[in-house]
Amino acid sequence: MKNIVCFHLFNDFSGSPQVLRTVVEGLLDKGYSIDLVTSRGGVLDELEGKEKLRLRQYNYNFARNKIVRTMRYLWVQLRTLFVALGYIFKKDTVIYINTILPIGAAIGGRLAGKRVVYHYHENAKAKSTAYRILAKIMQIIASDIICVSQYQRSFLRRKRRVYVIPNALQKVFAARLHPDSDKAFENRRVLMLGSLKGYKGTLEFIALAARMNKYSFELVINDSQENIDRYLKEKGVTPTANLTIYPRQDDVAPFYNRASLVLNLTNIKYAIETFGLTALEAMTAGLPVIVPTVGGIAEMVTDGENGFKIDSQDCGKIEKCIENILRNKDFFVNLSKNALSKAGLYDAGHMVNNIANIL
């Protein structure tokens, strides 16, 4: 039985570590032994104490200063390179890289003569030059590459041993979601989960809330309250009374259970969603979604069936769409049922089985 060594750079409560947790738990259930190397302070901490799992952690935080941020990143790469090299004499070991960021671990794994499998979550082409360089290196040194959508795969020049395996939710998390289209319609609440990055649509969501004061809006930001307050002050934004902004949450299931509709307002001029875990979480809760017009997230939505694809910069069109969805109960219920049906296609067991076959 193979030993899997998983590397993930920054352990928080965002999509990629959530998916890694699902994969790790599934592989442990299959009898694999796993070493997990990551930072402290996120969802992967909850795996501590699992049988056949060794958790190796370090302290790592993003810095606002670019130079400090780069130095921290390079230090972790050097450290994980030597950790990966430490497996040189261990047989039947596979190095599993979650996201393209742990490049040090990937290089160390190859130098140790191990198979290096990448779980590629980003769209490097739509990000910075550094990401594009990391993606090129990945295509050279990876034994296998797992993409999360056909859209994402289409940008890779490499075609050999590249697979598409859509993400899925943890069964434990999905079980805490309670689809109820009648209740959701009555809630009249619009939800978005995102970050403070400009292209994620935070300001657009705040503007929508100000324009639609007859509905409640909730915004969950994957950051600290201190950083959120600083960001709003820098942007000169004061949230309206119908909008509540929450900092990073350990459990977002209650937000979906009281929402009516979920938005993703990523600006496609600056970033493309390669999958869209929040959209899948929403649909698993039986909620319609409004998402960008392109990307892996767009592959999940059929206009008028389980949601809509609208450019995040077209606030007027989004506003009209929200009004149409939340004032027509029959239409809403139909969207809700179709969303739940679509979510059923993204099965965690199927995802883990496919990844296990590659490993």
How much is the pLDDT for 343? Answer: 95
CB 177 within 8 A of CB 252: no
Chain mean position to CA 220: 14
Residue 124 DSSP label: G
- Residues 126-135 have a mean pLDDT of 89
pTM of the model: 0.81
Is pLDDT above 80 for 127? no
3-state secondary structure of 22: helix
pLDDT at 126 > cutoff 80: no
CA 84 → CA 34, 41, 57, 172, 235, distances in Å?
Answer: 13, 22, 14, 31, 43
Nearest to 334 by CA among 302, 356, 358: 302
Question: pLDDT value at position 171?
Answer: 85
What pLDDT sits at residue 190? 98
pLDDT value at position 43? 93
Per-residue pLDDT tens over the stretch 36-77:
999 999 999 999 999 999 999 999 988 889 899 999 999 999
Tokens of 185: 């319609």
Assess whether pLDDT exceeds 80 at residue 167: yes
Would the pLDDT of 1 be above 70?
no
CA angle 77, 79, 85 (to 5 degrees): 100
Q: What is the mean pLDDT of residues 257-263?
A: 98
Flag whether pLDDT at 271 surpasses 90.
no
Mean pLDDT computed over 86-90: 95
By percentage, how much of the chain surpasses pLDDT 70?
100
Q: Single out the residue of 348, 289, 252, 313 nearest to residue 30, CA to CA.
A: 348
Q: Tell me the per-residue pLDDT of 95-117, one tens digit each, with 9 for 90 and over.
A: 999 999 999 999 999 999 999 99
Rounded CA-CA distance 103/107 in Å is: 6
What pLDDT is attached to residue 107? 98
User: pLDDT per residue over 188-239, tens digit each?
Assistant: 999 999 999 889 999 999 999 999 999 999 999 999 999 999 999 999 999 9
Domains and CATH numbers, the chain: 3-164 (3.40.50.2000), 173-343 (3.40.50.2000)
Q: What is the CA radius of gyration of the chain?
A: 20
Q: Average pLDDT over the chain, rounded to whole?
A: 94
How many Å separate Cα 139 from the centre of its chain? 22
Average pLDDT over residues 331-358: 95
Asked if 141 and 103 touch (Cβ cutoff 8 Å), the reply is no
pLDDT reported for residue 250: 85
pLDDT score, position 13: 85
Region of residue 201 (left: phi > 0; alpha: psi -120 to 50; beta: else) = left
Mean of pLDDT values over 274-297: 95
Phi, psi of 257 (to 5 degrees): -70, -15
